[in-house]
Structure 1
Amino acid sequence: MSAVRTVLDDVAPGDLGVCDAHDHLFLTSPRLAGQELRSLPAARAELEAFRRQGGGTVVQWTPYGMGRRAADLPALSRATGVHVVAATGLHQDVHYDDETLAGLRGRLAEVFVAELTEGIGNSGVRAGLIKVAGGFHTLDAHARRTMAAAAEAHHATGAPVAVHLELGTGALDVLDLLCDTSGVPPHRVILGHLNRSPDPVTHRQIARTGCYLAFDGPSRAHHATDWRMPDAVRALADAGHGDRLLLGGDTTTASARSVDGGPGMPYLLRRVAPRLALAVGDGLVRRMLTENPGRAFAVDWS
C-alpha cells in the first residue's frame, strides 16, 4: 500500500491531517548568514504553534548539506504530535562549498537512494522525498546533474521529486528534463514557488501534465504572493486542476518564524487558508491541505 515516509514511520496518506507541504524546521546556508534555522527549542515551539492551529504534518524540504538535523526530527515529532517528513536531494550550488560538491561528484543518486531507504547519516531517519532546484529561467549544469540523479533515485524508490523553482520560473524546462528526458511520471513531480511567478498560461500548461503545483512561502515582503495567489488557485481549479494543488509556508529564516516575531508556520492556517477560502471555498482549501498532499507524498516504497 502507498504510504508517506515520515521521520518516525511510514504513514497512511489519510492520516497526515492538515499538511504544510513545504517548510523548514532547520536550514543553514552561506546565503543566510545570521538567519540560520538552528535552534531546537525554536523548532519545537514553531511545531507546537502549528499544531495549535490544527496542523498535523510538516514536510521539511531541507536537503543534503544544509543543516537538516535529521537525528533531532523524531523527538520533535513525538513531542509535538506533528508528523514530519524529511528530504534528501541537493539545492543550488551556491548553497555549498566546493569541497562538499566535489565529495558528491559521481555518486549523487547513490546518496539519495541511501537516504530514502537506509537513513540520513547515522540517524536512522529515512527521507520521504527528493528536493532539487532550478535557476532563474534556466537550468545550469549543476541543476541538470542533480535532477538526473533525482530521477535515477526516483526510479529506484518511487520517491517524489520536489523542485525549488527560482522565483517560480523554469517549470517547463524542469518538466522537460525530469519527465520527458528522464522518465519521471509527472504525478511524481512537485513544483514549488509557483505563487512567485503568477503566469496563468504557464500554470495551466504545467498543470495539464499532471504534476503537483505548490503555492508556498506566503507573506514575503519582496514577493507579490498573498494577494495574487487566490486568483491563480481559482483559475487552476476552474480548469479542473484542483486535485493537484498544494500549500506551504516555506519558513527559511529565523526572523520569519512565528516564535521570533514573524508569520511562521501558523500563518498558513491562521490567515492564508481562510483568505483563500473566500476565493475558492472551504472544500478546495481543505483538499489542498489534506487529500492532495496525501497523494503527492505517498509512495509504494520499493
Structure 2
Amino acid sequence: MTAPAPLVRTVLGDIAPADLGVCDAHDHLFLRSPRLPGQELDDPAAAEAELRAFAALGGEAVVQWTPIGMGRRADALPALSRTAGVHIVAATGLHQAVHYDQDALRHLADGLEERFVAELTGGARPDDAPDGAPLTARAGMIKVAGGFHGLDAHTRRVFAAAAHAHRATGAPIGVHLEGGTAALDVLELLCAVHGVPPHRVILGHLNRMPDSRTHRQAAEAGAYLAFDGPSRAHHATDWRLLDCLVSLVEAGHARRILVGGDTTTASARASTGEGPGMPYLLSGLRTGIDRELGPEITAVFFRENPAEAFAVSWP
C-alpha cells in the first residue's frame, strides 16, 4: 500500500507542504502562565492585529507552540486564520510543571498519551471546557519542554507520552529547551530511548545558548534547530543569532534550521505592545539573514524547511 502524501495539519485542515509559504516556525498568539503574571496573551483582537501585520510583510503561516493548559485558545484559532489569511498550526503537548497549578497538573497527567493522540487526530477542546464540550481544530505538532541543563521526572513522563503520540501519528515534537540547554540530552531521550526519528524533533530556543558545537552536533544527528529570536524576554544573546546561523550554514546544515519570533508576553507584541513582535521576524531578522547568507538560504529557512519539518503522512 502506498503511504499517504505528507501534509501540514493546520487549524483549517490539511494542506500541501508547498502551500505553507513564509512561516514563523515558533510563536504564540495566545499564552498564559503563572510565571508571566499580567502579561497574558488572551486578546483575540490583538492576536488578529499581530497576524495581519505579519501577513502585510509577506507572512503566510504561524506555528503556535502553546500547549495544553496554557490558554492556547484552540477554539479561536480557526476564525483568526480565516480573517487574517494566515495558516496556523496548533500544538498539543505539555510544558514544564512550573507553568501549571499542581492540582490541574495531576488531572492533566491522567491519560496523557491518549489526549495527545486525540488532539492530533480528532481535535482539541478549550482548556477549561468539560469533557463533553465540542471539539475544535486539530493540532499539527506536539510541544514538550526540557529543564535547565537536565530532564526531571515530569519531563521524562511527558516525553514518553509525546513519543507515544508521535508513533501513533507521525507528528513532529517541538521541544522548549530551557535557556537553550540540554539539547543533546533531549535527543538521547527522545531518539535513542523512545525511538523518535531525529528529523521529527524540533529543538527550540537554541539561540539562548549560542554554543555552535552543540548546535552542530544536534544538526549532525538530524534534528531541526529552531532559532526563535529576537525576543524581548530573551534579548541577551540576540546579537549572536546571525553568527550561529552562519556557522551552521558553513558547516553544511542549512536544511536543519527554522526561525521564529516566540512572542510570549503582551508587551512584546508590535501591534498593541512595545514590540518587536511577530512582524519583526520579517522586517528585521529576515533582512539580516538575507544580507548575511543570501536570498536562497533565506527561502530555505522561511519556506522550505518548515514545509518539511511540519509535514506528516497522517494516518
So what's the TM-score if we normalise by structure 2? Answer: 0.94
- 1:179 aligns to what SS in structure 2? helix
Which residue identity is paired with 2:144? V
Instruction: Name the counterpart of 1:290.
Output: 303
Alpha-carbon distance, 1:99 to partner? 1.5
CA distance in 2, matches of 1:221, 1:41: 22
Correspondence 1:140 to 2:152: yes
Correspondence 1:245 to 2:249: no
- 2:203 aligns to what SS in structure 1? strand
Correspondence 1:2 to 2:6: yes
Distance 1:296 1:219, change over 3 A: same
CA distance in 1, matches of 2:203, 2:185: 12
CA distance in 2, matches of 1:267, 1:123: 33
Alpha-carbon distance, 1:105 to partner? 2.7
Correspondence 1:26 to 2:38: no
Instruction: Name the counterpart of 1:265.
Output: 278
Which residue identity is paired with 2:250? D
Instruction: Name the counterpart of 1:131.
Output: 143
Correspondence 1:112 to 2:125: no
- 1:22 aligns to what SS in structure 2? strand
Aligned residue runs from structure 1 range 108-187, under 5 A? 108-121=112-125, 122-187=134-199
Deviations 1:90-145 (A, max 9, x none): 00000001111111334111110000001101333100000000011010100110
Structure 1 moving runs of 4+ over 2 Å: 219-226
Aligned residue runs from structure 1 range 193-204, under 5 A? 193-204=205-216
Instruction: Name the counterpart of 1:277.
Output: 290
- 1:269 aligns to what SS in structure 2? helix
Q: Percent identity?
A: 65
Instruction: Name the counterpart of 2:99.
Output: 95
- 2:222 aligns to what SS in structure 1? coil
Alpha-carbon distance, 1:224 to partner? 2.8
Tell me, which stretches of 5 or more residues in structure 1 are unaligned? Answer: none
Tell whether the 8 Å contact from 2:142 to 2:171 is kept in structure 1 after alignment.
yes
- 1:275 aligns to what SS in structure 2? helix
CA distance in 2, matches of 1:189, 1:60: 16
CA distance in 2, matches of 1:82, 1:225: 29
Tell me, which stretches of 5 or more residues in structure 2 are unaligned? Answer: 126-133
Alpha-carbon distance, 1:231 to partner? 1.2
CA distance in 2, matches of 1:186, 1:221: 28
CA distance in 2, matches of 1:190, 1:284: 19
